[in-house]
Amino acid sequence: MKKKLFSFVTVLMGILLFSSCANDDAVSSDKITDFNANFEKVFGTVNPAQNFNTQRTVTIDAVVENAQGNYTLLVYDARPNTKGASLLGKFENLNPASSTVKVAMSKASEFVYCVAVDGDTRSIASAKVPASGRVTAKFDTAEGAFVDTPTADGTSVTVAFEDLGSTDDFDFNDAVIRVDYVTGTGVANVTLMAVGAVLPLKLYYYGERTQTVALFNGLELHEAMGIDDKTAIINTNWKTKDGIVGVDNVPFVSCQIEVPQDFVIDENGAPFVLEVDGVQGQRQITASTEYGAVPQVFVVGKFYSERLAKTFFWRWPKERVRLNLAFPEVADWMANPEDFSFLANGVEDNLYDGYDPTIDDQVQPGTPEGLEAVDLGLPSGTLWANMNVGATVPEGYGSYYAWGETEEKDYYDWSSYLYCDGSKETCYDLGTDIAGTEYDVAHVMWGGDWKMPTIDQITELFEYTTNTWTKLNGVKGRLLTGQNGNTIFIPASGCRYQSEYKRVGTCGNYWASTIFPYNGNSRSYEFDFYKPYIAWSLNARYFGQTVRPVQ
């Protein structure tokens, strides 16, 4: 069997590096000069066009036709119900004729996904984000389009400070916080994760339209994490030596702050300030977007690996491990603001490896709650799932996959198909039946005895059941009833071609595990409003289609 290895570069990661402000005479200009000189000695001269900011504001002009009234708009950075998708914004009571909202997302993210919630109807629109950052989202609730919109993690941004206690370690772990928020909700959670400094530290939120807020009840950061020793180094894998105590696996602490409804951490910076040794008035470290300046604050968003189906939160370097030793290719990014590849190539041994409840160690998403294997009384004894792969409810469309692939993507054609070199003629041989193999998305995602159905199993399903075109919770599809009275509902999920969703709400296209021998594509079964029976479709392998598993 011919196979091919594909390199993977993570791009769904937002990074900002900002220069520091130091106006206090307690820190000599010589120390700041030394820090800047040492930084450029290690990383090279900072590109004057680089403000170390890959976050951006995306403006969305939304229009909803046939709305029942004002509606709610949900904005995601990946297709909703995709593992790792983040809810960027939630905007309620919008005017359907015309509404404009703004969210922040990584410049590396190419697509934005919007869901209009209008009564029981949830309609999806997606758009590629142009250089201008302005997109139009159009919906028509009369079409009855539907998409799962489960509770999703919001935007998550890590802010890591360098306090100038040393002018040459560049480990960016002197204070590390994570900020979780959804634009439009008016609240943000701030979590303190590490304190890699031997000086007293405090943190503040400086909102443009709010008063300055002392975080963690105004406590010094060591105390906020429950450590009385202000010279201890917390959660940086520091070994106790040189009279300095290292303490790892200290639970994170969080506080909640009120923020403006339009709060974002984008190209305008992160409104958090670190006060260092405030009693002596040593300095304050804040963020700005000055181009070409040596940074003292490192801000990085969480990112999602499509290859691993896993969400990662940035892990800071270990104590006294320079940033370039944790991420060896960071200097390339210093010179080229558009090259984010260094983030996918961190050195595991040089990154903090202690307690972090946010890291998802499960590559397998697992089976959804409510999943059932339904006995329809079929002669073969085959049991059919009550929902699609990627769905959370029986009427959910779930996820769309090319045949043999196990991850969703933003674009479906031969150029993006994993198992060819750009055309049907160069398709790799995955076998005549991929059920139960590494290419079977049902088996990979759900495990156990779950598999993609063969053509024979699909034929049997429609031969020994009756089916009716109907709606379930407002979603169009076919209700299949077995001779024993048990039922399953198969939603009209349509399919995906290139970046578009096709025939959603009017037709269902579902993959079989078996190959069609005459043209090298795979058969899929298809039904629509006009066909009360199964029809075979010979869509090319690269089409994005849904999957209903069997046991």
With H, G, I as helix, E, B as strand and everything else as coil, classify residue 446.
helix
What is the Cα–Cα distance from 276 to 283, expressed in whole angstroms?
6
In Å, how far are 8, 55, 331 from 12, measured between CA atoms? Answer: 12, 11, 19
The pLDDT score that the predictor gives to residue 258 is 92
439, pLDDT greater than 80: yes
Which has the minimum average pLDDT: 6-10, 44-48, 434-438? 6-10
Mean pLDDT of the chain: 82
CA gap 545, 551 in Å, rounded:
20
Average pLDDT over residues 474-485: 91
For residue 286, is pLDDT > 90?
no
Domains of the chain: residue spans and CATH? 15-51+154-350 (no CATH), 55-143 (2.60.40.1110), 373-537 (no CATH)
218 three-class SS: helix
- CB environment 380-389: b (16+ within 10 A), e (fewer): eebbbbbbbb
Six-digit token string for 102:
């703004």
| Residue 154, strand partner residues | 87
- Residues 406-417: pLDDT tens digits? 888 889 998 898
User: Pick the residue with more confidence: 292 or 187?
Assistant: 187
CB proximity list for 484: less than 8 A, separation 6 or greater: 375, 376, 377
Residues 6+ apart with CB under 8 A from 151: none
Q: Give me the pLDDT at residue 328, please.
A: 92
Question: Which is more confidently placed, 81 or 185?
Answer: 185
Encode pLDDT of 293-315 as tens digits. 888 888 887 765 555 555 667 78
Average pLDDT on 482-490 reads: 94
Q: Pick the more confident residue, 378 or 26.
A: 378
> What local confidence, expressed as pLDDT, does residue 535 receive?
65
pLDDT of residue 426: 79
pLDDT at 480 over 70: yes
Tell me, what's the pLDDT at 549?
Answer: 95
DSSP 38-84: HHHHHH-PPPTT--SB-EEEEEEEEEEET-SSSEEEEEESS-TTSTT
Q: How is residue 99 written in tokens? A: 């509404």
Q: How many CA atoms lie within 13 A of 417 on its CB side?
A: 25
pLDDT tens across 128-175, in order?
899 899 999 988 877 655 555 656 678 888 889 998 888 889 999 999
> Other C-beta atoms within 10 Å of 59: how many?
14
Higher pLDDT, 234 or 420: 234
pLDDT > 90? residue 360: no
pLDDT at 499: 86
Closest CA to 105 of 122, 85, 123, 91: 85
Q: How confident is the model at residue 340 (pLDDT cuts 50, 70, 90)?
A: confident
In b/e form, how buried is each residue of 75-113, taking b as 16+ CB within 10 angstroms?
Answer: bbbbbbbbbbbbbbbbbeebebeebebbbbbbbbbbbbb
Question: CA separation (Å) from 397 to 193, 211, 544?
Answer: 38, 45, 12
- The pLDDT value recorded for residue 171 is 94
Residue bearing tokens 């008016």: 186
Cα distance from N-terminal residue to C-terminal residue, the chain: 27
DSSP string, 222-235: HHHTT---TT-EES
**Higher-scoring residue by pLDDT: 439, 549:** 549
For the record, the structure tokens of 512 come out as 């079989």
Question: Which pLDDT value is given to residue 150?
Answer: 57
Torsion of CA 134, 140, 141, 147, to 10 degrees: -60
